[in-house]
Copies of this chain bind each other. A is one copy, B any other.
């Protein structure tokens, strides 16, 4: 992926992609104005975001829908496939492991980890569940760079430390705690309850 795109813009690209894919096949052309209206966004912003991709719009007609879809997909996956692991296969970990949407972004979930002997050796959504104690060996072998942490808050930092020590470069954290990581590791935090609280404050 092009690193010069701001993260905030990058986050919007999948939204355009989802919208474009939802259009009827007959719609051969699509303008930035139409996209902006449908998604309730500013047209200038849409045009600016799409300019990060290789797609080029034509005056008055707009983009060829298929080309724009291809350009967005290409942009979002142009690094080739990256391997990701899920840590913690409780209810949330299971849901994330089984979520099919990752491959649209060139990401493949290759394995899951847990510490519960009843779960180790089983599989979730077709992915093997390994003992977290074997993380060093397994992560090296699988060439995984991304991890999603779905363990309880109390174990999240320990899990992160172990992952980072064994080559994980980016962590998506669902546990409701801040994770500390060295600068070369990218961390994002999704706190479901906090997100709902923010919504609650808006009504």
Residues of A at the B interface (CB closer than 8 Å) are 1-3, 5, 7, 10-11, 14-15, 18-19, 22, 39-40, 76, 79, 82, 84, 90-92, 94-96, 98-99, 101-102, 104-107, 145-146, 148, 153, 169-172, 176-178, 180, 186-203
Contact = CB atoms under 8 A, between A and B. Distances in A.
Given A190-B195, A195-B172, A201 B3 contact: yes
A171 B193 contact: no
Given A7-B202, A19-B178, A95-B90, A102 B39 contact: no
A18 B190 contact: no
Contacts of A107: 193, 196-197, 200
A105 to B, nearest CB: 4
A11 to B, nearest CB: 6
Copy number in the complex reads 2
Nearest to A82: B200
Contacts of A79: 200-201
Contacts of A18: 153, 176-178
B19 A170 contact: no
A177 to B, nearest CB: 5
Contacts of A188: 195, 198-199
B15 A178 contact: yes
Contacts of A145: 200, 203
Given A170-B199, A171-B199, A200-B170, A190 B193 contact: no
Contacts of A192: 96, 99, 101, 148, 172, 190
